[in-house]
């Protein structure tokens, strides 16, 4: 046994199996124990698994060996690797929800919205500048923007920090995330100068997270299957792009980097989006629960439970959201974001560290260009993990600086 006794070997195997079970190895669902941390650092949207398990075969798609061999999906399309069925279902879903205008925009599919952010930055960056163009976003901003902007050390663009602090008289690119990640608030451009280019990241502009107050119509709009449907593993995002030259440059970057996007992932995403659209239309979905209504109720219940605990323990505070009229639901409602942006009322300096001490993993405010007294907590985990988080949060009392 290479220096180990049989008992030692068995113990090692048992420990490995326990670790695999806790982290969800081999495709199994994690089983949070009283000893394992609850990881709410990521926005992993497993909360919607129950809905999709009920949908069953309606969302099933199969492939045969002779399908999808070619690089090309539609050689006549500017985005020639975009599957026609996916384009159809993207346009249909936006029409059903009414959250974005699509009729005069090109659709560019990407490997998640992360690749589309890179492609958009490349496409709108001026090529005649002596220095890289600054990429800015209003704090608190999505923590990955800085990483994406600086990863390649591009001569075209670089991270420029908080849009509120940007005062240079030069070209810039502003990332506007609305609803915002991490705080869930509706956002508008901050810099507002003629030399700027705006990229609107609308990953969370869906009725289960926020009221749909208008049908937005921007030059570049980014969406993702991950946060809309919960299918993060399929790695499908899309951009709605008004300008043909910008759309072509985005396609160029993706062709060079990945030669397109998996057809299997695209067709699965098309199937899923089609089910969601059908679920919103009574004549198309007998016996199928409206996905957005299901997700709204789920998110509303979770936010209600979290607010009750925060109100009782009085150590923390949560962002408040106004009640607004939603064009999709035809009623007044408030936002129920995918993340809770929580701050502490006491003099503690690092809320992320405090939560970690109670086996709650979250992302600290400094990652978002904000104060370490803030933390972002995912609201999208499975019920078991979310309930364990609530249990641990409710046990935190009497914290002072240094504890």
Distance CA 164, CA 161 (A): 9
Q: What pLDDT does 399 receive?
A: 54
Segments in 259-363 forming alpha helices (H): 263-279, 291-313, 351-357
Residue 220, classed as helix, strand or coil, is strand
374 forms beta bridges with 343
* Residue 84: Cβ within 10 Å count: 12
Residue 219 CA from chain centroid, whole number: 20
Strands (E), 41-194: 106-111, 133-137, 157-162, 172-177
H-run or E-run covering 221: strand 220-224
Distance CA 398, CA 9 (A): 45
Whole-prediction pTM value?
0.90
Q: How far, CA to CA in Å, does 17 sit from each of 11, 22, 320, 379?
A: 10, 9, 43, 28
Q: How far, CA to CA in Å, does 325 sit from each of 188, 304, 331, 332?
A: 19, 20, 6, 4
* Residue 316: Cβ within 10 Å count: 24
Rg of the chain on CA atoms, in Å: 23
Q: What pLDDT does 339 receive?
A: 98
Q: What pLDDT does 29 receive?
A: 53
Q: What pLDDT does 286 receive?
A: 79
C-beta of residue 101 within 8 angstroms of C-beta of residue 217? yes
Read out DSSP for 141-166?
A: --THHHHHHHHT--SSEEEEEEGGG-
Report angle CA 360, 361, 362 to the nearest 5 degrees: 115
Distance CA 382, CA 374 (A): 23
Tens place of pLDDT for every residue, the chain, 403 residues?
343 334 433 433 333 333 333 333 434 454 545 689 999 999 999 999 999 999 999 999 999 999 999 999 999 999 999 999 999 999 999 999 999 999 999 999 999 999 999 999 999 999 989 999 999 999 999 999 999 999 989 999 999 999 999 999 999 999 999 999 999 999 999 999 999 999 999 999 999 999 999 999 999 999 999 999 999 999 999 999 999 999 999 999 999 999 999 999 999 999 999 999 999 997 767 789 999 999 999 999 999 999 999 999 888 999 999 999 999 999 999 999 999 999 998 777 799 999 999 999 999 999 999 999 999 999 999 999 999 999 999 999 865 444 4
Given the structure tokens 């000893």, which residue do they identify? 35
Given the structure tokens 């670089």, which residue do they identify? 158
Segments in 200-262 forming alpha helices (H): 225-229, 244-258
Distance CA 306, CA 318 (A): 9
C-beta of residue 118 within 8 angstroms of C-beta of residue 232? no
The domains found in the chain, sorted by start residue, are 6-53+290-394 (3.90.1150.10), 63-279 (3.40.640.10)
Q: What pLDDT does 4 receive?
A: 38
For the record, the structure tokens of 231 come out as 């299918």
Distance CA 205, CA 186 (A): 9
C-beta of residue 144 within 8 angstroms of C-beta of residue 114? yes
Which of 372, 316, 370, 381 minimizes the C-alpha distance to 142? 370
84-97 and 263-279 are packed helices; what angle lies between their axes, rounded to 10 degrees? 30
């Amino acid at each position: 046994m290479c220096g180990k006794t049989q008992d030692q070997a068995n113990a090692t195997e048992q420990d490995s199996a326990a670790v695999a079970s806790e982290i969800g190895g081999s495709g199994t669902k994690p089983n949070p124990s009283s000893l394992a941390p609850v990881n709410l650092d990521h926005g992993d949207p497993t909360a919607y698994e129950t809905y999709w398990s009920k949908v069953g075969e309606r969302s099933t798609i199969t492939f045969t060996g002779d399908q999808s061999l070619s690089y090309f999906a539609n050689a006549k399309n500017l985005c020639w690797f975009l599957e026609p069925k996916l384009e159809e279902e993207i346009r249909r879903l936006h029409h059903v929800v009414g959250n974005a205008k699509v009729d005069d925009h090109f659709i560019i599919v990407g490997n998640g919205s992360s690749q589309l952010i890179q492609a958009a930055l490349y496409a709108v960056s001026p090529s005649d500048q002596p220095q890289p163009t600054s990429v800015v976003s209003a704090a608190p901003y999505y923590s990955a923007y800085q990483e994406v902007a600086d990863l390649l050390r591009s001569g075209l663009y670089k991270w420029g920090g908080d849009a509120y602090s940007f005062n240079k008289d030069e070209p810039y690119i502003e990332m506007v995330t609305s609803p915002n990640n991490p705080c869930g608030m509706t956002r508008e451009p901050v810099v507002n100068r003629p030399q700027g280019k705006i990229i609107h990241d609308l990953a969370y502009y869906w009725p289960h997270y926020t009221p749909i107050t208008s049908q937005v119509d921007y030059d570049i709009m980014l969406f993702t299957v991950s946060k809309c449907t919960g299918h993060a593993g399929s790695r499908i995002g899309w951009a709605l792009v008004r300008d043909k030259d910008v759309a072509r440059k985005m396609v160029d970057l993706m062709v060079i980097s990945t030669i397109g996007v998996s057809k299997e992932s695209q067709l699965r995403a098309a199937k899923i989006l089609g089910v969601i659209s059908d679920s919103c239309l009574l004549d198309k979905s007998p016996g199928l629960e409206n996905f957005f209504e299901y997700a709204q109720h789920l998110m509303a219940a979770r936010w209600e439970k979290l607010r009750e605990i925060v109100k009782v323990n009085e150590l923390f505070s949560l962002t408040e959201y106004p009640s607004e009229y939603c064009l999709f639901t035809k009623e007044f409602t408030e936002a129920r974001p995918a993340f809770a942006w929580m701050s502490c009322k006491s003099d503690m300096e690092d809320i992320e560290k405090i939560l970690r001490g109670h086996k709650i993993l979250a992302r600290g405010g400094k990652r978002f260009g904000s104060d370490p007294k803030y933390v972002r907590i995912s609201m999208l985990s499975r019920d078991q993990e979310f309930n364990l988080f609530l249990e641990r949060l409710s046990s935190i009392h009497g914290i002072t600086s240094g504890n």
